Structure 1
Amino acid sequence: MTVNVRRLAGWALIVGTIVAGAGYLAANLLAPGSGDEVFRYQNWPLFEGVALVGDVIIALGLPVILTFAGRAQKLHIVGYAGIFAALVMLNVGEGTTEAFVKPYLVGHGGIPAQEPPGFAVFEGVALLALVVGSICLGIAVLRGRMLPWWIGIALIVSCILGALGLPGAWFLVPDGVFFAALFAIGVFAVRGRPDHTPATVGQAAAGTRG
């Protein structure tokens, strides 16, 4: 039995973006109040936890991006590395704090006004990785021509919208555009023809034995 790794990774992107997107939407649109008050919402840890699960699934499927490198291999590698780093550092790392630590602190003395030492640097590096990764991958998609041009534009636009600091619930739009681009990549990975896919697990094992 062989497993098509590319399609499996594509499904991971599809499922992960849907789960993560649903979790973030539910947490931020249903939570009453604003600021630290949202952490008092009883379902906040549940919805943010769902989003975290989606983020982990996305991380598992993210390497499929490299199979669409085409003529822009270096840009694809930089884009993949930046997005993967940001996903792990922001969505999973900082997201765990947002989902479970801050709700606990709100009910046990409140969230400290001063951030832990070095946290601003950590967040700054993660944001830089996201910007560089998204822009590089967007340009790589446009140059590689193995994916529709609008996926590359969406990745770049997501950065621009994020930099604008949209007010209220509109701040979710950049993440939505970014997830939509990853979802589309997953769809094309799943629909890809066999001759455009990398070696399957079974073929790789056979090659190793040979």
Structure 2
Amino acid sequence: MTVNMRRLAGWALVAGTIVALAGYLAANLLAPGNGDEVFRYQNWPLFEGIALVGDVVVALGLPVILTFAGRAPKLHMAGYAGVFAALVMLNVGEGTTEAFVKPYLAGHGGIPAQEPPGFAAFEGVALLALVVGSICLGIAVLRARTLPWWIGVALIVSCLLGALGLPGAWFLVPDGVFFAALFAIGVFAVRGRPDHTPATAGQPAAGTRS
């Protein structure tokens, strides 16, 4: 039996984004209170753990983005690298602390007010990777024209919305837009949509199908 790796990776993006977003929404919308109080919510580790599983699945399917590179391979590679780094450092790395370490500390003496040395720098690098990755990938999608233009716009908009620092539960909107864009990429990968490269003068358009 031949395994279609592109469709398999596409399914990983589809399933991973749904699971991750569901976990984040459940944790942040159902938890009472705000600030450090949310870590005392009994179901917080469960919901955040579900989100972590979704993030890992998304990371496994993320390379499918490169199959849509078309005429913008360098931008796609830069975008993929930035998004992957941010996903691993923020969603998985820092997310593990948010899901399990902080709830434990909240019930055993409280969460320290001062962050560990170097954590701010780690987070800053991850956020920079997210900004650069999202913008590069968004522009790459617009230039390559192998995916609908609105996916590229959604990736860029998610970054801009995140920079606004939306209040309350609205801070989940950038993540929702970002995951929606990845979900859409996964759907097109599952459908086996061919990569259309615009033809140059006197040359027929060439496409490949997985």
- Per the TM superposition, whether the score is higher than 0.5 is yes
* Distance (whole Å) between structure 1 residues aligned to residue 48 and residue 202 of structure 2: 37
* Residue 205 of structure 1: how far off its partner (Å): 29
* Residue 79 of structure 1: how far off its partner (Å): 0.1
Q: 1:125 to 1:37 in 2, by over 3 A?
A: same
* Distance (whole Å) between structure 2 residues aligned to residue 203 and residue 99 of structure 1: 54
Deviations 1:76-124 (A, max 9, x none): 0000000000000000000000000000000101000000000000000
In the alignment, is the contact (CA less than 8 A) between 1:13 and 1:57 conserved in 2? yes
Deviations 1:170-208 (A, max 9, x none): 000000000000000000000015798999999999999
State which drifts further: 157-166 or 191-200: 191-200
Higher RCO (C-alpha under 8 Å, 6+ residues apart): 1
In the alignment, is the contact (CA less than 8 A) between 1:2 and 1:201 conserved in 2? no
Q: 1:2 to 1:138 in 2, by over 3 A?
A: same
Q: How many residues align?
A: 210
Q: 1:197 to 1:13 in 2, by over 3 A?
A: farther
- Structure 2: gaps (5+ residues): none
Q: Secondary structure of 1:203's match?
A: coil
Q: 1:199 to 1:22 in 2, by over 3 A?
A: farther
Greater helix share, 1 or 2?
1
Matches within 5 A, 1:72-151: 72-151=72-151
In the alignment, is the contact (CA less than 8 A) between 2:131 and 2:159 conserved in 1? yes
Q: 1:193 to 1:169 in 2, by over 3 A?
A: closer
In the alignment, is the contact (CA less than 8 A) between 2:145 and 2:197 conserved in 1? no
| Identical-residue share of aligned pairs (%) | 90
In the alignment, is the contact (CA less than 8 A) between 1:159 and 1:174 conserved in 2? yes
Misfit runs of 4+, over 4 Å? 193-210
Q: 1:196 to 1:143 in 2, by over 3 A?
A: closer
In the alignment, is the contact (CA less than 8 A) between 2:196 and 2:206 conserved in 1? no
In the alignment, is the contact (CA less than 8 A) between 1:5 and 1:198 conserved in 2? no
After TM superposition, the score normalised by the length of structure 2 is 0.92
Matches within 5 A, 1:13-52: 13-52=13-52
* Distance (whole Å) between structure 2 residues aligned to residue 75 and residue 102 of structure 1: 37
* Distance (whole Å) between structure 1 residues aligned to residue 67 and residue 140 of structure 2: 12
In the alignment, is the contact (CA less than 8 A) between 1:20 and 1:52 conserved in 2? yes
Deviations 1:32-69 (A, max 9, x none): 00000000000000000000000000000000000000
* Distance (whole Å) between structure 2 residues aligned to residue 140 and residue 97 of structure 1: 33
Q: 1:145 to 1:97 in 2, by over 3 A?
A: same
- Structure 1: gaps (5+ residues): none
* Distance (whole Å) between structure 1 residues aligned to residue 209 and residue 70 of structure 2: 29
Q: 1:73 to 1:203 in 2, by over 3 A?
A: closer
In the alignment, is the contact (CA less than 8 A) between 1:6 and 1:197 conserved in 2? no
After TM superposition, the score normalised by the length of structure 1 is 0.92
Q: Secondary structure of 1:94's match?
A: helix
Q: Secondary structure of 2:198's match?
A: coil
Q: 1:127 to 1:209 in 2, by over 3 A?
A: closer
Matches within 5 A, 1:112-191: 112-191=112-191
